[in-house]
Structures are given as C-alpha cells and as structure tokens.
Structure 1
Amino acid sequence: MSETRIEWPDPEGQEIVERLFAADVALRAHFEETAAAVGLSVPQAHTLLQLQEPQRMGQIAGQLRCEPSHVTGLADALEECGFLRREPDPDDRRAKRLTLTTRGQELRDRLLSRLFDTAPIISVLDAEQRANLLALLRVSQSATGHDTRR
C-alpha cells in the first residue's frame, strides 16, 4: 500500500508547522520530566505555576481549562503536602483563594529553575536568537488572536 504524500503549496510554511509541533512535543516531555523530578504530577505543577499571586480556585480552573472540581482535588493534594493553603478571598468571602506556603514557593522556584535551565529549543539559543524568536512569536500570536499569556 503506497502512502499519499500531500504537497503543501508553501513548503517553508509546512516545515515551520512541523517544527512547531516537534517543539511542542519536546517542551511537553520536558515539563513532564521536570514535574516528576520535583515530585509533582503535571496538573499539580501547572497549578503551582499559576500561583505567582494568590488566586481564586475558579480563576485557576479557567487558566488550566478544566472543571473547578478538578482544581479542588489538586488543591486538596497540594494542601495536604503543605505547598498551599486555602483562604477566604478578601473581595468575596464566599470564594476561596489558593496561596502558596513558604514550602510551596520554594518548590515553585525549584520547578521554574529546572524548567528554564534546560528547556528544549530555547536553551541552545544565544541571547539575540532568543530575542528574535520571542519577537516573532509575539507578532504571530497577537496577529492571530492566539496570545494565551495573561
């Protein structure tokens, strides 16, 4: 059985897409390995990364694109380990905010350090190359409305 190969009208565009997909795979694997190295599951690591500042659990669910009940389970496990605590939101006493403890902040810092020290793709680039890549990503994401940074 022969494979049908689709020829893109833009070979350069095709290569860019293929390389972005490969970069995504490499970055996801790196994130999984780094989370495991510090003793966290991927969802737990994502939750800690959202907590630069205290946040409502509903906000975290939105950022993680999951159901609020999922964040409740993550918060339970992270609180049990002493990495975060729940506190009433000062703007709405009915809502709960998650706040990192000192242990949680230390773990978040360690996670970030490990993530960025050896991140695939960017760790092999020099400062100028990194700046160029970042500028290109910003332009392409803002032009398409796919800038997910908040």
Structure 2
Amino acid sequence: MSQPEPPPTPVQLMDRLAHAAAAYYRNFASVAAGHGLTLMQGKMLSLLRRPMPMRTLADLLTCDASNITGIADRLEARGLVRREVDPADRRVKNVVLTEQGEETVRLIRAELMTGLTGLEQLDDEDRRTLGRLLGQVFP
C-alpha cells in the first residue's frame, strides 16, 4: 500500500500562493491592457465597489498618494471615475465609479473568469473550503 503524500510545508504553500498571485496579475494586466488600462488603473477600478477616499486607495494599492492622484486623473479623463467631496468631511475627496467605469469593471471581471477556469471546476464545498482557508490566511 502506498504512503499518503505528506502535506505541503508552509514554505511550499507560500510558493504556491506566490505563483498563483503572479499568474493572476499577469492575466489581470493583460485583460486591463485590452481595455486600454494599466495594471494599476485596473486595480483601482476593481477596488471601487463603493466611493473611496484617495488616501484609502493609496493604502490598498500600497503606493504614494501622489500616484493615486495621477491614476485618478487619467481614469477621470476617460470618464471611468469622478471625484466627489466626502459629505462627512469636505476636506476628503472620494473616488467614485461612473456608469462607464462600472461597465468596464464588469467586463474585466467577466474576462478574468474566463482565464480562471479552475475556479469554475470546484464544486460548492471546495469553493467554501477555499474561501474559508483564504480567510484564515488573509483575514
């Protein structure tokens, strides 16, 4: 009788996650480019599920706030986002998706899913398990 395969070590799991993340971002960059966007522009759009302050976007994208201003300027020039004063604090500018921006995000996500067919092959229980495990590793 054959021995069961030993579980992967934490280092092996970290390497797999790094490989998966790199593959995801290569695919994401390609899909974003197909819409005339840079990787960072695409990432910013995908984060805007709700209005978000520029500072929060800078933190989430791990870049300087001045970079966010440039990215938002280019997205705004294309009609994908607009800036609004935060009603709770008039000093804060929120970035908000326009209808065209929402449609672009929808198209990007749909195209991304066509490149991630492995997720579609998971049954409900496997997706629940993967979601739970990812939540434990990245709370």
TM range, normalised to the smaller chain? 0.7 to 0.9
Contact 1:27 1:120 (C-alpha < 8 Å) held by counterparts: no
Deviation of residue 18 (structure 1)?
A: 3.2
- The partner residue of 1:12 within 4, 8, 22 is 8
Quote the sequence identity (%). Answer: 35
The equivalent residue for 1:61 is 58
Contact 1:82 1:104 (C-alpha < 8 Å) held by counterparts: yes
Matched, 1:100 2:102: no
- The partner residue of 1:39 within 23, 29, 36 is 36
The equivalent residue for 2:107 is 110
**TM-score for both structures, normalised by structure 2:** 0.83
Contact 1:85 1:100 (C-alpha < 8 Å) held by counterparts: yes
Count the aligned residue pairs.
133
Deviation of residue 53 (structure 1)?
A: 0.8
Aligned structure 1 segments of 4 or more residues deviating by more than 6 angstroms: none
Deviation of residue 120 (structure 1)?
A: 5.9
Cα separation, 2, equivalents of 1:11 and 1:128: 20
With 105-114 and 74-83 compared, the bigger mean Cα shift is at 105-114
The equivalent residue for 1:6 is none
Contiguous gaps of at least 5 residues in structure 1: 1-9
Contact 1:23 1:121 (C-alpha < 8 Å) held by counterparts: no
Matched, 1:131 2:135: no
Contact 1:30 1:115 (C-alpha < 8 Å) held by counterparts: yes
- The partner residue of 1:29 within 26, 30, 34 is 26
RMSD: 2.0
